[in-house]
Structure formats: structure tokens, C-alpha cells
């Protein structure tokens, strides 16, 4: 059973516009959420995170929103740049277990 | 710091062969984990360790063994390789289980014929 789901396999946006990547989860015990970025032939790299006690976290062009009642989080990238083209993974964890569970990933293409 | 290193980068095995994927980190991280990445499946947790001498199973542990005798190393063993284990394997580490900003290695691409 997939506890973290990214239902959009791919997303294409124009340079300068907003990219919105979505993620849903089912485990109400998750208390920390993260987004990772992955380029081909490289390992994932950490992008931004949010604790379950917050509903928004911002870091430069990247903002993560958390809606606990809907068990939904989203990553906003504004403005999108061609270098943002990559696979984005959503991940969730229960602090007391230490396990980090990933979604399937969304491939973002930012067109010049 | 070299960060998280993985060897080999590529490997081809025949069904039934065994091998060990190596993972090492030089950041003195307590928490280490192994993932496999398959198309459409994302990253799935195989095994993880919260410190030397302590390991536990993740989402897809069958067919894999791990041990953690030192803080630095966390090898992943395939005892009898199967074609279903063809995948890209990533090792990761972080300061603690509660700090999940994990650092990933570059991956090992494994093909089982």
C-alpha cells in the first residue's frame, strides 16, 4: 500500500511561470515532510522540508504547503527556471521510527 | 568530506549469484539507509540503521541482508540475485533518525540476467 503518492508522473511549464507539484499521504503518524530533487545519474538532493506543526515553509523560490486535514502537501516553484527540470520526490517520516517513505516522483520540465 | 560513497557504480550479475553493494560515509552520521529506485515506483526503503549494531527492515527487505558494524559503513548483501532485483540502489545517511535531511550517494546500477 503506497503511503505517499504523487499522482502526476510529469509536469511541463514555461520558464518564469509557477510550477506546482502535489503529494498525498495516508499515514496520519507522519510528522515531517520533505521534497528531494533528482537529476539523471545522480543521487537525490534535499530541497525543502516542513514539520507537521507548520502549514508553510519558504526558501527562496521554493515554498512547501501542508494541509494536514486533507493529508496533502504541495511544492511551489516561482519563477520556474530551465535548471529546475528534474524529478521531484515527496517524502514523509515518523520521527520515532526514522523511516523515510518516498512517493513515486514527478518529472518537471521547464521550457525556455 | 567525500560525503556518501557507493561502490560499484555498475554491476551485472547472473541469476543466483551473490554480491555486496558497499556504502560508506565520512560525516559521522548515525542514521543510514538503503533504497531502490524503479520506474514508476519511486524510492523504496530496503533496510535502515539508526546506529552501529542496529538495523531494521524497510518496505521491501526480502532478498537483502544488511549489517552495521561501524558508524561509517553500511553494506547491502544480495545472497541469491534475481532478475526482480534489477534496479538502481541508493545509500543515504543523516545525523539522526529525527533529522531526515538525508544525504544520498550517487547510486549503483545493478542488472541481474
pLDDT tens for the 112 residues of chain A, in order? 789 999 999 999 999 999 999 999 999 989 899 999 999 989 999 999 999 999 999 999 999 999 999 999 999 999 999 999 999 999 998 777 778 889 999 999 999 9
Q: What is the pLDDT of residues B12-62, one digit of tens each?
A: 999 999 999 999 999 999 999 999 999 888 899 999 998 999 999 999 999
Q: Under a CB-based contact definition with an 8 Å cutoff, are residues B43 and B36 in contact?
A: yes
With CB atoms and an 8 Å threshold, state whether B100 touches A93. yes
Whole-number pLDDT of residue A30: 92
Band of residue B2 on the pLDDT scale cut at 50, 70, 90: confident
Whole-number pLDDT of residue B43: 93
CA B20 → CA B44, B49, B82, B89, distances in Å?
19, 17, 14, 12
Query: Would the pLDDT of B93 be above 80?
Result: yes
> Which residue is closest to B3 within chain A, CA to CA?
A43
The partner residue sitting opposite A99, judged by closest CB among B4, B41, B58, is B58
Whole-number pLDDT of residue B99: 60
Closest approach of B40 to chain A, Cα-based (Å) = 6
- Chain A residues within an 8 Å CB radius of B104: 36, 43-45
Q: What is the pLDDT of residues B96-113, one digit of tens each?
A: 766 668 899 999 999 999
Amino acid at each position: 500500500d503506497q503511503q505517499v503518492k504523487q499522482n502526476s508522473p510529469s509536469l511541463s511549464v514555461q520558464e518564469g511561470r509557477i510550477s506546482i507539484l502535489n503529494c498525498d499521504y495516508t499515514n496520519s503518524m507522519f510528522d515531517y515532510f520533505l521534497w528531494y530533487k533528482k537529476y539523471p545519474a545522480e543521487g537525490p538532493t534535499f530541497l525543502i522540508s516542513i514539520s507537521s506543526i507548520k502549514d508553510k515553509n519558504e526558501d527562496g523560490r521554493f515554498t512547501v504547503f501542508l494541509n494536514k486535514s486533507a493529508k496533502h502537501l504541495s511544492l511551489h516553484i516561482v519563477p520556474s527556471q530551465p535548471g529546475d527540470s528534474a524529478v521531484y520526490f515527496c517524502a514523509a517520516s515518523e520521527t520515532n521510527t526514522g523511516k523515510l517513505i518516498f512517493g513515486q516522483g514527478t518529472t518537471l520540465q521547464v521550457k525556455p | 568530506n567525500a560525503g556518501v560513497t557507493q561502490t560499484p557504480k555498475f554491476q551485472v550479475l547472473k541469476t543466483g549469484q551473490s554480491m555486496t553493494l558497499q556504502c560508506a560515509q565520512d560525516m559521522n552520521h548515525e542514521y543510514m539507509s538503503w533504497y531502490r529506485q524503479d520506474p514508476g515506483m519511486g524510492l523504496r526503503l530496503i533496510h535502515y540503521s539508526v546506529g552501529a549494531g542496529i538495523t531494521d527492515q524497510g518496505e521491501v527487505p526480502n532478498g537483502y541482508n544488511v549489517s552495521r558494524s561501524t558508524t561509517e559503513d553500511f553494506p547491502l548483501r544480495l545472497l541469491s540475485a534475481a532478475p526482480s532485483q534489477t534496479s538502481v540502489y541508493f545509500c543515504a545517511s543523516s545525523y539522526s533518525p529525527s533529522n531526515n535531511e538525508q544525504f544520498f550517494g550517487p547510486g549503483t546500477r545493478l542488472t541481474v540476467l
